[in-house]
A and B are shown apart, each in its own frame.
Chain A
């Protein structure tokens, strides 16, 4: 049974099936990317923070544009070669197309990697700091030290300097919710620092009412008996009764233990619920019999479970197990694990999002980074909204205060920056004059970005200027700015000139309490990067998908070419149409994201 019009076109529509199909598919793709572009417009219009204009490196995007356009041309040549039954030429052009896709993806990968490794911090006063986090280590006393030194070699105990150090004495784990990877991480860190997590006390978990004598005296006696039976062996957990568990004090923690305990807890809870339901049902039956014809909402407050109804039929439930850390050691935790953020300095309790509760002491764990950008635009925007002078607010912010150990370095850069902006203002007045002569309102002023954002290129320029004694306003000053190729995908912290001579990027330690949001340059950082990664990521996936299909035609279609070359040509045409669409989306993406 053959489907008609798979190879030859139908007369009245002039199309073969796959062509109809691909155009329909492309219509849906237009709606897909259209939805995303509409989202972009919406997010940009309604953004309540300074939208990052022109922060993306243009060069990789520009190269990618031409690479894709080229690949659109070569895919047409590949199809034409098939129509002309020139197999070798088809192979050549299809290979070129796929190679272009590869180049595109590599450049995209370089761009993405640069962003994922770049740290951003928004402080509670809306100052934005960008840079590269350092690696840190704990000393014997458990205090954090930045591990300066080049190379990102993973020493076992080194960690990124954006973590929280919590010196932990005890940890209580929720039986139902404890998250295995976090428990394992804590166990690993404990092992590294030669500490043990052991049960704080003797715990009895009851899973069946038969194991749970109702009178407390009796129960306590039974528990003491169990403790006695096992006191001479190594501390461990022991099953007893129908479905209950005794965890001896000192039992070492592992996730299997928590799982066993969870099983008992869930069984106990289920048994209790069954009994309670039965009791409540019978209470309702009685209530309905006593008040016939009355709806529930008139008699509900008279129906309740009395404790006496449950005696002897339910068990006490223990939802968490507590473990001591012997000796108390600092645990290195990711900020996102903590539920009660921000943890105050020296906080004695930390709750994690899986209901683990840590007792101890929060050590000093500032975010330590090499700063390559300081951005006061958000602060300035907030100041203007509150009718305050932005410059005053900026100069009173934490980064210039005595609370910042590196304040002097930042003040120096800020002074130089102010000098430069003044020169820009003067230059603009010289060139464009005033729009209101009387009130001396200039026609053009520096943008918010110029005024309030000191980017990495500025820092490099200022460092070079200071070294060579060049002042802003002088002609040579402009020449000191890094070129397009110098920072291909962003600031290069490994550049030899920077690391050995200039040191343009400033050191900084930001206390965790002053951080309102820290993130890499990922979708989490702001809605701009969120829509950027979604748009380019989805587009990138389409490039990958298209490349896979085209590769299939390149490598596996010889047989089909021999049997039915026209059918293959149709397939390649349809694939080429998809490829053109992918290119067209990029033609829209590039100016909107990179140039506007």
Chain B
């Protein structure tokens, strides 16, 4: 239904909404998408800062934090959490746990699924808004509350959560247990924050799925959907079905902490401060792990798939040819979605589950690499024979391919429980998943941001600043994460807070094999830390670009500056409330570039077929 046709409905859309209704409590999917995007980017920056502090202690153990890093903290905070200015193990763990939590749940998921999904999906399927606009707004505010809880926990006497982003029991049960009122304990607030974040994601997933299923424009059949929409669909199902068990785990751990239940407390547990715990026992830490990873694994696909979605949109536009293997890609992403539910215990190979169960998960994990590889390969082949425009979005999208490739390939050894015996909980794992998420997923998102910025604001990003953002980021990402793979194979543990200095072989002629190996590779620590700090600096051109280009960027010449074919480019810029100013429909596939039977370089999805031409044949082969 178009904006004009609906103009006679609903009085409250006739006159201008007040500022707070327009920008704060908006129910418009575009505003909500931007809200999610800005908030998520801020959280990403905060999570990055936490890691920067951690990397100081890894590179320069026993040395106080430098002034340029510690100025943000108050003197009281530093007195409580640092020891003579040095990062303590407890503080390192707190930063580590919150770095993971914030990056995953407050950064990447909201940016990928909620921000991009919200802004782009209704536009790409040709509808006016999400199916449930008010629910959309509630989702954002649940995210806001959850995020505030997480941030606020840093200011508690107990500090924020500190038991890893995975929050395993029994440690996570008892950390911050000395706080009498548990609702003022960081660990408990983490759990409460998670409940809000999970609620936000669940409500968002319901909204997205209903919108995609029921609100597609006329002619927008399933196989004419842009790949982005398929990806958001699968991500929505992953969130919908995988998050509830984590909510159960969070609820159970909350109950263990507040009412003294023993869901995850085994019998006879002993701690130094309390002796034998006075609890009923009979519980199982393993139960927590199963519940956590049942979400945890689909969660990493939730991180990845929206990035693949962005890249899959940027590549056809900038190669001027259709996506190669659209149908296999659709089937692959559906398979990845389904299989992601049956691989979770490859995170639990070292829990003593036994070879039979480990073999099952090993098999499914290796199987899931097949559709993943199909996706990556299709994207790579999509470049073949293309008339490639290496604008900044395309740079990010093309860089995504080898970066995600490295991330994916390094995951394969981890799939085998035998190899995982050596690599579990080492820096190899950190290197693997950061390759996928940092130079992988984030590069995909930057591709999306640079690609859709003109549609959101009506202006272009500055190209020079874009290059200044891209090239250093690419270099420093690799300098930061590649050595982790090496250190991991040498056995460096993932949660060492002093970079491994405690494990160095002391004597010159020591026969401590491990100590000697650590000594061989520990020199990489300062290199990686500097890469991290310079990587932070490399993001500054992006911030400048964002602020500058919104006001003074080069204005776009028309509503479709990239000459793209998908429906979001058929709206005015920026798209108004109601999105389309005409009765929009989809008349062909989403990537009709360089068609033999069409004069123009591209044939947009929304352009009505000309009456005098013969009926269009769907193009089967990619155009040479």
Candidates B62, B206, B247, B259; contact of A523 at CB < 8 Å: B259
A1 with B214: in contact, given A523-B261, A526-B262 (CB under 8 Å)?
no
Q: Please, which residue of chain B has its CB at the minimum distance from the CB of A297?
A: B501
Candidates B59, B255, B522, B526; contact of A534 at CB < 8 Å: B255
Interface residues of A in 277-307 (CB under 8 A from B): 277, 279-281, 284, 295-297, 300, 303, 305
A147 to chain B, nearest CB (A): 27
Chain B residues, CB < 8 A from A538: 251
Q: Is A269 an interface residue (CB 8 A)?
A: yes
* New contact pairs (18) apart from A24-B206, A24-B210, CB-CB < 8 Å: A15-B214, A21-B131, A24-B240, A25-B202, A28-B202, A31-B241, A179-B180, A269-B76, A273-B82, A296-B59, A296-B61, A296-B63, A297-B61, A341-B275, A524-B261, A524-B279, A525-B280, A530-B283
Chain B residues, CB < 8 A from A16: 214
- A530 near B262 (CB under 8 angstroms)? yes
Beta-carbon contacts of B128-150 to A below 8 Å, as 1s and 0s? 11011100000000000000000
Q: Is A192 an interface residue (CB 8 A)?
A: no
- A1 near B13 (CB under 8 angstroms)? yes
- B267 near A48 (CB under 8 angstroms)? yes
Q: Is A47 an interface residue (CB 8 A)?
A: yes
By Cβ-Cβ distance, the 8 closest A-B pairs, closest first, are A277-B85, A523-B261, A273-B79, A530-B261, A32-B244, A35-B245, A35-B248, A524-B260
- A3 near B263 (CB under 8 angstroms)? no
Complex Cα gap A176–B255 (Å): 26
- One of A38-46, A214-222, A325-333 contacting the partner: A38-46
Q: Please, which residue of chain A has its CB at the minimum distance from the CB of B70?
A: A277
Candidates A28, A177, A297; contact of B244 at CB < 8 Å: A28
- B84 near A295 (CB under 8 angstroms)? no
Interface residues of A in 508-550 (CB under 8 A from B): 516-517, 519, 522-527, 529-531, 534, 538
Q: Please, which residue of chain A has its CB at the minimum distance from the CB of B579?
A: A1
Complex Cα gap A393–B290 (Å): 38
Complex Cα gap A295–B59 (Å): 9
Q: Please, which residue of chain B has its CB at the minimum distance from the CB of A282?
A: B64
Complex Cα gap A300–B251 (Å): 44
Complex Cα gap A16–B215 (Å): 10
Q: Name the residue in B78, B240, B260, B261 with the highest tally of chain A Cβ atoms < 10 Å from its Cβ.
A: B261
Q: Please, which residue of chain B has its CB at the minimum distance from the CB of A31?
A: B244
Interface residues of B in 279-319 (CB under 8 A from A): 279-284, 286-287, 290-291, 294
Q: Please, which residue of chain A has its CB at the minimum distance from the CB of B8?
A: A2
Chain B residues, CB < 8 A from A527: 261-263, 280, 282-283
Q: Is A172 an interface residue (CB 8 A)?
A: no
Q: Please, which residue of chain A has its CB at the minimum distance from the CB of B578?
A: A1
Q: Is A118 an interface residue (CB 8 A)?
A: no
Complex Cα gap A49–B286 (Å): 18
Chain A residues, CB < 8 A from B284: 42-43, 46
Complex Cα gap A553–B206 (Å): 22
Chain A residues, CB < 8 A from B375: none
Q: Name the residue in B241, B243, B260, B280 with the highest tally of chain A Cβ atoms < 10 Å from its Cβ.
A: B280
Chain A residues, CB < 8 A from B248: 32, 35-36, 39
Candidates B59, B178, B259, B287; contact of A39 at CB < 8 Å: B287
A300 with B62: in contact, given A25-B206, A35-B291 (CB under 8 Å)?
yes
- B213 near A20 (CB under 8 angstroms)? yes
Chain A residues, CB < 8 A from B294: 35
Q: Is B577 an interface residue (CB 8 A)?
A: yes
Q: How many residues of chain B get a CB closer than 8 Å to chain A's CBs?
A: 83
Q: Is A354 an interface residue (CB 8 A)?
A: yes
- A179 near B259 (CB under 8 angstroms)? no
Main secondary structure of the interface of A (DSSP, over half): helix
Candidates B63, B180, B207, B214; contact of A354 at CB < 8 Å: B180
Candidates B9, B215, B241, B262; contact of A27 at CB < 8 Å: B241
Chain A residues, CB < 8 A from B74: 270
- B129 near A1 (CB under 8 angstroms)? yes
Chain B residues, CB < 8 A from A24: 205-206, 209-210, 240
Q: Is B601 an interface residue (CB 8 A)?
A: no
Chain A residues in the interface with B (C-beta under 8 A): 1-5, 10, 13, 15-17, 20-21, 24-25, 27-29, 31-32, 34-36, 38-39, 42-43, 46-49, 122, 176-177, 179, 181-182, 266-267, 269-274, 276-277, 279-281, 284, 295-297, 300, 303, 305, 336, 339-341, 353-354, 516-517, 519, 522-527, 529-531, 534, 538
Q: What are 7 A-to-B residue pairs whose CB atoms are below 8 Å?
A: A24-B210, A27-B240, A32-B245, A48-B282, A181-B180, A297-B499, A527-B280
Complex Cα gap A73–B273 (Å): 56
Q: Please, which residue of chain B has its CB at the minimum distance from the CB of A278?
A: B85
Chain A residues, CB < 8 A from B64: 277, 280-281, 284
Chain A residues, CB < 8 A from B79: 266, 269-270, 272-274
Chain A residues, CB < 8 A from B213: 13, 15, 20
Chain A residues, CB < 8 A from B273: 339
Complex Cα gap A523–B78 (Å): 39
Q: Name the residue in A15, A280, A340 with the highest tally of chain B Cβ atoms < 10 Å from its Cβ.
A: A280
Complex Cα gap A2–B19 (Å): 22
- A43 near B283 (CB under 8 angstroms)? yes
Q: Is B1 an interface residue (CB 8 A)?
A: yes
A4 with B75: in contact, given A13-B213, A182-B180, A524-B280 (CB under 8 Å)?
no
Interface residues of B in 37-94 (CB under 8 A from A): 59-64, 74-76, 78-80, 82, 84-86
- A296 near B206 (CB under 8 angstroms)? no
Chain A residues, CB < 8 A from B215: 3-5, 17
A519 with B82: in contact, given A1-B13, A13-B214, A24-B205 (CB under 8 Å)?
no
Q: Please, which residue of chain A has its CB at the minimum distance from the CB of B63?
A: A284
Chain A residues, CB < 8 A from B479: none
A343 to chain B, nearest CB (A): 12
Q: Please, which residue of chain A has its CB at the minimum distance from the CB of B67?
A: A281
- A28 near B255 (CB under 8 angstroms)? no
A530 with B255: in contact, given A32-B248, A297-B504 (CB under 8 Å)?
yes
Q: Is B6 an interface residue (CB 8 A)?
A: yes
Q: Is B624 an interface residue (CB 8 A)?
A: no
Q: Name the residue in B59, B213, B290, B504 with the highest tally of chain A Cβ atoms < 10 Å from its Cβ.
A: B213
Complex Cα gap A285–B453 (Å): 46
Chain A residues, CB < 8 A from B281: 48-49
A274 to chain B, nearest CB (A): 6
A577 to chain B, nearest CB (A): 14
- A4 near B278 (CB under 8 angstroms)? no
A351 to chain B, nearest CB (A): 10
Q: Name the residue in B283, B501, B526 with the highest tally of chain A Cβ atoms < 10 Å from its Cβ.
A: B283
- B260 near A523 (CB under 8 angstroms)? yes
- B252 near A39 (CB under 8 angstroms)? yes
Q: Please, which residue of chain B has its CB at the minimum distance from the CB of A527?
A: B282
Candidates B6, B76, B178, B214; contact of A5 at CB < 8 Å: B214
Beta-carbon contacts of B194-216 to A below 8 Å, as 1s and 0s? 00000000100111011001110
- B245 near A176 (CB under 8 angstroms)? no
- A281 near B85 (CB under 8 angstroms)? yes
Beta-carbon contacts of B546-588 to A below 8 Å, as 1s and 0s? 0000000000000000000000000000000110000000000
A180 to chain B, nearest CB (A): 9
Beta-carbon contacts of B241-272 to A below 8 Å, as 1s and 0s? 11111011101100100011111000100000
- B214 near A20 (CB under 8 angstroms)? yes
Complex Cα gap A182–B180 (Å): 10
B597 to chain A, nearest CB (A): 29
- A28 near B240 (CB under 8 angstroms)? yes
Complex Cα gap A280–B240 (Å): 52
B243 to chain A, nearest CB (A): 7
Candidates B181, B249, B280; contact of A517 at CB < 8 Å: B280
Q: Is B127 an interface residue (CB 8 A)?
A: yes
Candidates B205, B244, B280, B504; contact of A526 at CB < 8 Å: B280
B130 to chain A, nearest CB (A): 8
Q: Is B608 an interface residue (CB 8 A)?
A: no
A2 with B1: in contact, given A15-B214, A28-B240, A526-B280 (CB under 8 Å)?
yes
Complex Cα gap A21–B135 (Å): 11
